[in-house]
A = this chain, B = another copy of it.
Amino acid sequence: MVSKRELIFITTNSHKVKEINELADAESRNITILHRDYDYPELQLDEIEAVAQESANYIREKTGIEDSFFIEDTGLFIPALNGFPGPFSAFVFRTIGNEGILKLMADKKGEARKATFKTVVAFCEAPQKTPVLFVGIAEGRIAEEIRGRGGFGYDPIFEFEGAEKTFAEMSTEEKNHVSHRSRAFEKLLDYLS
């Protein structure tokens, strides 16, 4: 019997843990995700690739962690709003929320409603090396109103390209099939196997 490989996922966001766990199970690769609830500081940078890389370096240096671990950073990027809320998606969600985004988009039609969800997974393999980055993207548009009760964050206003549904109208399984987070995580799984 092959023993399962353990990977530590460092995040304070339990929704992300749930998604990644279901994905690891569905893939039935020999991976077990261990959640570590640790709140690390992120830098204010416009590129979430750089944010994730610096965060992983910070965790490695400050915590002295010796096991393999990964973190992820996700942003919603709206070109018509010059990339807002981008790297500050979590703060913007906590303050103005989906209602705020809809107000900012009220006068935007057609192509101007386009949006991209991007996840960057930064993986540090034991013994600790430079973080390796995996990027996953989902293209879509900002819906005209909040729809659906699944998912979390901006899911209820993000209509996945080609689907009639927002991410919040999909089951976790459906969302995991196409989402930015699952695409980034699958690249990590491919890298590991």
Chain A residues proximal to chain B, CB less than 8 Å: 41-46, 54, 81-88, 91-92, 94-96, 100, 103-104, 106
**Are A94 and B106 closer than 8 Å at their CB atoms?**
no
Chain A to chain B: the 3 pairs with minimum beta-carbon distance, closest first? A84-B95, A82-B95, A42-B44
**Are B83 and A46 closer than 8 Å at their CB atoms?**
no
Complex alpha-carbon distance, A91 and B75, angstroms: 14
**Are A106 and B104 closer than 8 Å at their CB atoms?**
no
Among residues of B, the one whose C-beta sits closest to the C-beta of A42 is: B44
Q: Which of A43, A83, A92 has its CB near the most chain B CB atoms (within 10 A)?
A: A92
**Are A46 and B82 closer than 8 Å at their CB atoms?**
no
**Are A43 and B45 closer than 8 Å at their CB atoms?**
no
Chain B residues near A84 (CB-CB < 8 A): 91-92, 95-96, 100
Given contacts A44-B88, A104-B104, 12 further A-B contacts (CB under 8 A): A42-B43, A44-B87, A81-B95, A81-B96, A82-B96, A83-B95, A84-B96, A86-B95, A87-B91, A88-B88, A88-B92, A103-B106
Complex alpha-carbon distance, A140 and B61, angstroms: 43
Cross-interface CB contact of A104 among B42, B82, B87, B100, cutoff 8 Å? B100
Cross-interface CB contact of A43 among B44, B87, B88, cutoff 8 Å? B44
Complex alpha-carbon distance, A76 and B190, angstroms: 45
Chain B residues near A100 (CB-CB < 8 A): 81, 84, 104
Among residues of B, the one whose C-beta sits closest to the C-beta of A54 is: B41
Complex alpha-carbon distance, A14 and B105, angstroms: 32
Minimal beta-carbon separation of A189 from chain B (angstroms): 28
